[in-house]
Amino acid sequence: MESYIQISKINDFIFCPYSLYYHSIYESFKDKTYHSSPQIRGKIRHENIDKGRYSTAKKFLQGIDVYSEKYELCGKIDIYDQDEKTLIERKNKISKIYDGQKYQLYAQYFCLKEMGYEVEKMFLHSLSDNKRYNIGLPTGDELTRFEETIYRMKEFDIEKNKIKKNINKCKQCIYNQLCS
C-alpha cells in the first residue's frame, strides 16, 4: 500500500524536514501544547473554510477533500471557484511567497485536475491585508522542482538524511527546543 503525503506537510518539509518529523509526533497532542501565536491565529482564521462558511454561493467548493494518485497526495483545498476555474489558498499573512506555499497550491491543483476539475488560475490570499497573489500554473522548472520535492519527501529518512540547520529558521521554529 502506498503512503500518501498530506498536502499541508509540503510547506513544513521545505521549511525543515525535522519540523515535519516533530509535527507528526505532536499531532495527537492538543494544539496548545506546541502551537505558537501565529499558528493559533491561522487556525482560527481558517475555521470558516473548514466549516464551509466562506460563502453560501454554490459556485464555491470549500474545504473539500482532494487526492492525486499520480503524486500520492491527499488533503483539502481552501476555495475553488467553479465559474472562474480559480483555486485559492488562504494564509493568515503573506509577507513573502515561499516555495512551500506555492507547492501546496500546486499539489491542490494536481489533485483537482486529476479529479476532473479545470483550473485556469491560482492565487495565494493574505487574510490580514486582503492581498491576492497570482501564482502561475506549474510548468517547466517549477514543475520539476515541485516533483523533486515530492520525491525527496517520499524518500526522506530522518536517520539517514542529515540536515544542515539554518539558525534563522531554527529561531522561528516551534520545535526548536526539541531539536538537538
Instruction: For residue 53, give the nearest of 107, 85, 90 by alpha carbon.
Output: 90
Instruction: For residue 17, give the nearest of 129, 130, 177, 170 by alpha carbon.
Output: 170
Q: Which domains does the chain have, with CATH numbers?
A: 5-172 (3.90.320.10)
Measured CA to CA, the distance from residue 72 to residue 110 in angstroms comes to 10
- 77-136 per-position pLDDT tens digit: 999 999 999 999 999 889 999 999 999 999 999 999 999 999 999 999 998 899 999 999
Quick check: pTM over 0.75?
A: yes
Is the pLDDT reported for residue 14 higher than 50? yes
Between 144 and 56, name the one with better pLDDT: 144
